[in-house]
Amino acid sequence: MLMCSLLMLAQAAATPAPPPADPATAARIEKLLTANPVIDGHNDLPWEIRTKYAAKVESVDLTKDTSKLPFPLQTDIPRLRKGHVGAQFWSVWITADNLGPRAVEMTLEEIDIVKRFVAANPGAFEMAGTAADIRRIEKAGKIASLMGVEGGHQIDGRLSVLRRYHDLGVRYMTLTHTLSLPWADASTDDPRSGGLSAFGKQVVAEMNRIGMMVDISHVSDATLAAVLEVTKAPVIASHSVVRALDNAPRNIPDELLTAIGKNGGVVMVNFYPSFVSQAWRDWDKARSDYAKSVGASAEVYGPNATAPVLAWEATHPEPIVTSATIADHVDHIAKLAGKASVGIGSDYDGINGTSPRDMTGVDGYPALFAELARRGWSDADLAGLARGNILRVMEKVEAVAKSMVGMPPIDATDRP
């Protein structure tokens, strides 16, 4: 078994990156993405600014290449432009162990970081709240900025907090992060509710009522299935991929991919190597185990990793993950859920600086579209992947909320 695993790692490490797009394909993708700018469902830049730059937005000049900063980032305005990004959902995430009123305070601080860097760059960014806003802002040559709360722990069990987040511009909430809640189970923790509790169902209902997308990234299979049973609107997975291709617990199994397609939802594909490549995931575990055995940190990747880890990597080469790896997940989701149910949710600046080799930052999206073009994807299907599919979901969520406008706010009857 060990020899087999090592052989798989060696083969994966030797896999070359796809060749650069030929001139005709490159021109086709340039034209396509100019007309259909990418809407990315998940970027963790706010947390990086908070933790690496002490929440000092003014200390991070997003008009310049942030990959050259002392603490490199994967996001900046020049690369967003090069990557043809027309709209970005910024994740206002906090770690799952922050609970109670402090979780709400920290979320508000994250929202403040987003609004500050948007305000600091008015020629590039503008806050958006609807699909129509995105279209208008893109036509003005700016990048529409929206927000997503990444974890139900951030409402502290209060639907009033959920509503106020919506007022501030939050347009989706991931029901859990890495830890289960009394009302919803996470994919990476023991179950507490067996899917959704009565309160969890009220959370979904209230999200439907106010027009906030229900995000099922990170949740358990049972929770995902329960959400699909009770929601009146399509769901999203803001940054998820396929379990059949990489056995990460948070990845989505085939039967639930099919169910999301039937719901009319969208799975927005994550770029984190550990979630898209089983070989990389196995390598990363071996790397972490080695680092722990010698008392070294494995948290930093690349040339700034600790000396023992760099020495280990010299004899254990990193498996290569490329745009072709991401395209495998896109193809798999499209096969089961339909091409209308797949989108982009990179998770840039939330993946420890790792990335596919030919997609190292927010300028990398064209490589994925070129790879899919080589695989026979039509311009119409590529346009849906870039933006059309998530815009359709947003419009449907907005329509459901409009149909419920006469309903009063839900008062929780089973608050944990």
Residues carrying an active site annotation: 42, 44, 150, 177, 218, 239, 347
Give the C-alpha separation, 354 to 351, whole Å.
6
Q: Name every residue whose Cβ is closer than 8 Å to that of residue 121 and which is 6 or more positions away in sequence.
A: 62, 63, 77
Residue 338 phi, psi dihedral angles, 5° rounding = 105, 150
CA atoms of 237 and 221, how far apart (whole Å) = 13
Nearest to 355 by CA among 257, 414, 275: 275
Give every CB contact of residue 293 below 8 A, 6+ residues apart in sequence. Answer: none
Q: CA 83, CA 145: separation in Å to the nearest integer? A: 16
CB within 8 Å of 376: residues ≥ 6 apart: none
Joined together, the tokens standing for residue 216 give 């099922």
Question: Nearest-CA neighbor of 392 among 346, 330, 345, 342?
Answer: 342
Structure tokens, 320 = 């290569």
Closest to 178 measured CA to CA, from 231, 265, 276, 99:
99
Q: How far apart (Å, rounded) are the C-alpha atoms in residues 333 and 339?
A: 8
Q: How far apart, in whole angstroms, are the C-alpha atoms of residue 177 and residue 111?
A: 18
